[in-house]
Amino acid sequence: MYSDRQLKLGTGVRNNFSHIIQPIYIIAESPLRLYKNTSLYIDTKKSIIKENNSLKKKVLVQSGIIQQIPPLKAENKRLKKLLSSSSSIDTSKILIAELIKVNLSPFSNKVIINKGSSNNLFLGQSVVDSFGVLGVISEINKNFSVATLITDPGHAILAVNARTNKRIVLSGTGDNRKLKAEYISLNEDIKEGDILITSGLDNIFPGGYNIGEISVIKKKLNQDFLSVEVSPSSALSSNREVMLLW
């Protein structure tokens, strides 16, 4: 185990035997895939029409919101020019990948993605879903790669409080439902419900993506810092498709 940690033997083995490992993952995933495909066929016409209507409404609302973005973008650019700031949340390329739903160790906080080095992925690439940041690519094989979730105990991310613009370090707890914010002084301006976004300063995640919301703030006696919990906004345990950012 020690040599594996130092020499990354497991990564090497997975890389060399990815042609054998991937079919095993596919076989293990096939019952779930079969269940989902059959339930799609079994769905009644009524429920599909209902879903279609709700999706149409959602698109209408979202296209209304999108219409406001170009003037906001222009205004933002103008203000940033005034402040001489160069940060930007534009990303040049997005690739949609699917999760391979096999049961990894429940405590490992890792997911497998069906895109690998053949799709020009790189180590440390950020993975997001439609709700927020999911994690980073930590291992790349030929046809699949491993992403470490932001809730992994060994993972930390530099966030910004959207209300106050103050920087906060968030680290994983091992629990999919919470992150912990560290080193927040007792007199810091922070409230439950504050939205945290990526800062873009860590050179891993592009700035401006949603991370989560502050859910619990506790002030403990004899402690120099606040104990703050953050609930991640991305659907860490239930999503199927993710986006990879360049």
- Which DSSP string corresponds to 110-128? EEEES--GGGT--TT-EEE
Let me know: does 166 contact 188? Beta carbons within 8 Å. yes
User: Candidates 52-60, 64-72, 106-114, 156-164 — which segment interacts with another protein by CB under 8 A?
Assistant: 106-114
Residue from 10, 52, 81, 186 binding another protein (CB under 8 A)? 10
Residue from 44, 63, 105, 165 binding another protein (CB under 8 A)? 105
Question: Nearest CA to 226 among 147, 176, 174, 166?
Answer: 166
The verdict on 110 binding another protein (CB under 8 A) reads: yes
Dist CA 244 CA 204 (whole Å): 12
Dist CA 201 CA 86 (whole Å): 12
Of 36-95, which residues contact another protein (CB under 8 A)?
none
CA dihedral 201, 207, 208, 211 (to 10 degrees): -70
| Residue 163, amino acid | R
Quote the least distance from Cβ 45 to another protein, whole Å: 28
| Closer residue to another protein in complex, CB, 112/159 | 112
Of 144-173, which residues contact another protein (CB under 8 A)?
146, 153-154, 173
Quote the least distance from Cβ 72 to another protein, whole Å: 38
| Closer residue to another protein in complex, CB, 152/194 | 152
Place of tokens 């609930």: 231
Dist CA 38 CA 122 (whole Å): 35
Query: Residues in the site for another protein, rule: CB under 8 A?
Result: 1, 3-5, 9-10, 13-14, 17, 21, 24-25, 27-29, 31-32, 101-108, 110, 112, 139, 146, 153-154, 173-175, 237
